[in-house]
Chains A and B, each alone.
Chain A
Amino acid sequence: MTLLNDIRDYPWTSLLTGLLPARLAGMLPARLQSKAAQIVPSASIAGHALTVVIAIMSFLACLTLGAVYMVNQSANAWVNDISSEITVELDPINAADIEKKMTLVALFLAKQKGVNRVKPLTAEDSAKLLEPWLGQSSALQALPIPRLIAVEIDRSNPPDIQVIKSALTQNFEGVTLDDHRRWQAEIKTLTRSAALAGLAVLSLVAVATIAVIISATRSAMVSNRGIIEVLHFVGANERFISREFERHFLGLGVRAGLMGAVAAALAFLLLPFMMQMLGGGAVTAAETQRLIGSGELDLKGYLLCVLVVVVVASLCMITSRLGVIRVLKTYA
């Protein structure tokens, strides 16, 4: 009930006016303008430097969260793709018979239960797969590049991979089957590592934000000690006094959080162009796309940035509240 009362009694209109520059706040409808003067003046709380620091923290948090989200999305899409496909590889041992062997293997695979589609890749297709790393060169044609057959399997009724693998080994020389399980495991490891690294960065950002808010709260309380004493004299309790401070820090958190989130959103929007501007070629683009997909956030990704604003603002408010109450206990 106390929490509900707190929410009901919270001076939300003062938060709204606190978010806007004074000139714009003055243009708000009268019912949205805070009538009561601020007991703790905004100017005594924190300067632009604190807002910039918190904005940078939010920016870093959004970038980290967005990057982890994109890696996760990309990895999921990749795992989905490769788990519905197996690849059969033919060693180019006897180049003269390779086309015939491709046809025989493809026909054999097409007959297997649980196989939806068989797609033999031409020599040009195989060479193209190497182009991002080796470049466009006629020398590729001369290299003994393995030939590949992509096999799409029915995920609802998958074939027995081991049986197909044994049959291929027995019937065809130099033919191997890759069910991509090793890749799936590696992608999952990569995703987990990215998530853990992201979590570590987010934790550091949170700790830094808390530390800077604690410091700012203490400074604010020192510079407003006279006001706090007067509030004590007129019977204000710790909750009232802490609320007078925390509303400033909540406003600051929302303002700085929004600044950081908008900057991060712009960074994500411009990421593909930035890679081009920085001279990233086909390999960079291919590697980046492999890692983070298209490099653009979807709606859920942007919602994560909004979540960062909420978390940063809450962190500012709660930290300042606890900081004020802790300092007030030393006054009594």
Chain B
Amino acid sequence: MIRFDNVGLRYGSGPEILRDVTFHVLPGSFHFLTGPSGAGKTTLLRLLFMSLRPSRGLIFVFGENVGELSAGGRSGLRRRIGIVFQDFRLLDHLTTWENVALPLRVMGKKEADYREDVTDLLRWVGLGDRVHAYPEVLSGGEKQRAAIARAVIGRPELLLADEPTGNVDPAIGNRLLRLFVELNRLGTSVIIATHDYGLMEQLDAPRLVLTDGHLQIR
């Protein structure tokens, strides 16, 4: 599903942030991506999401060489990936419901076909009473859950999450982890970047550990 071959990345003429990163992500797998702050976790997620180009090496996403893809080709692959950002990236002028429905709207689906699905998912992540609320009135944890709901609403084949439980209490964190596990059972590959050892210990999943730009699999 995902293959990195000797991938390196540097910004401009600066030092390499990632060095010789090589790994495979198989369909239906579950990985944690961890490492100290500044180790390059977010950068690696951005490479996975094709919003950055590597300075060297090859990246294959769903069997496609990302370096050879057109902008349209990358958009097509992104629709198969859900991503949760650390800073949520919700659109402030859209309601929670509209934010979560955005990927389906982008796919060209009709609102009548997904209205119930979006509402059900929001209820499931504990935002049933915040459907019409705008992001500016949501708490950090609520924004986090809305961002996660937006990432998973399109049933992605690959889910990338950057510190998805960083802003929620342990109970909600566990519930979100259950959501990721459930998605994984349904066939979605999941990569969660996290510092939260408590979260990682709840699940027996391989860890991609980044240290000084080098990746190890434990």
- Is A235 a contact of B78 with CB atoms below 8 Å? yes
- Is A234 a contact of B102 with CB atoms below 8 Å? yes
B88 to chain A, nearest CB (A): 10
Residues of B within 8 A of A227 (CB): 91
Q: Which of these binds chain A: B68-76, B120-128, B164-172, B196-204? A: B68-76
Q: Report the Cα distance A329→B150, complex, angstroms.
A: 25
- Is B89 a contact of A236 with CB atoms below 8 Å? no
- Is B51 a contact of A235 with CB atoms below 8 Å? no
Residues of A within 8 A of B90 (CB): 230
Interface string of A9-26 (1 = CB under 8 A from B): 100000000000000000
Q: Report the Cα distance A227→B92, complex, angstroms.
A: 9
Q: Which of A227-250 contact B (CB under 8 A)?
A: 227, 229-238, 240
Interface string of A197-241 (1 = CB under 8 A from B): 000000000000000000000000000001101111111111010
Residues of A within 8 A of B61 (CB): none
B68 to chain A, nearest CB (A): 13
Interface residues on A, range: 20 to 34
Q: Report the Cα distance A38→B98, complex, angstroms.
A: 10
**B78, B93, B108: the one within 8 Å of A37 (CB):** B93
- Is B91 a contact of A230 with CB atoms below 8 Å? yes
**B83, B107, B108: the one within 8 Å of A233 (CB):** B83
Indicate whether A235 sits within 8 Å of B71 (C-beta atoms), given known contacts A37-B94, A37-B95, A39-B102.
no
**A9, A35, A234: the one within 8 Å of B103 (CB):** A234
Residues of A within 8 A of B75 (CB): 232, 235-238
Q: Report the Cα distance A240→B90, complex, angstroms.
A: 18
- Is B89 a contact of A237 with CB atoms below 8 Å? no
Residues of B within 8 A of A240 (CB): 106
A239 to chain B, nearest CB (A): 8
Q: Which of A35, A41, A233 has the most CB of B within 10 A?
A: A233
Q: Which of A37, A41, A328 has the most CB of B within 10 A?
A: A37
B56 within 8 A of A: no
Q: Report the Cα distance A41→B83, complex, angstroms.
A: 24
- Is B107 a contact of A237 with CB atoms below 8 Å? no
**A36, A41, A229, A230: the one within 8 Å of B111 (CB):** A36
A49 within 8 A of B: no
Residues of B within 8 A of A328 (CB): 71
Residues of A within 8 A of B106 (CB): 231, 234-236, 240
Q: Report the Cα distance A235→B74, complex, angstroms.
A: 8
A163 within 8 A of B: no
Residues of A within 8 A of B79 (CB): 234-235
- Is B89 a contact of A235 with CB atoms below 8 Å? no
Give 7 closest A-B pairs by Cβ, nearest first: A235-B79, A237-B75, A235-B78, A234-B103, A236-B106, A332-B71, A41-B93
5 contacts between A and B (CB under 8 A): A233-B78, A234-B102, A235-B76, A235-B81, A332-B74
List the interface of chain A (C-beta within 8 A of B).
9, 35-39, 41, 226-227, 229-238, 240, 328-329, 332
14 more contacts with CB within 8 A, not counting A37-B95, A39-B105, A235-B76, are A37-B93, A38-B93, A39-B94, A41-B93, A226-B89, A230-B89, A233-B51, A233-B83, A234-B78, A234-B150, A235-B78, A237-B75, A238-B72, A329-B71
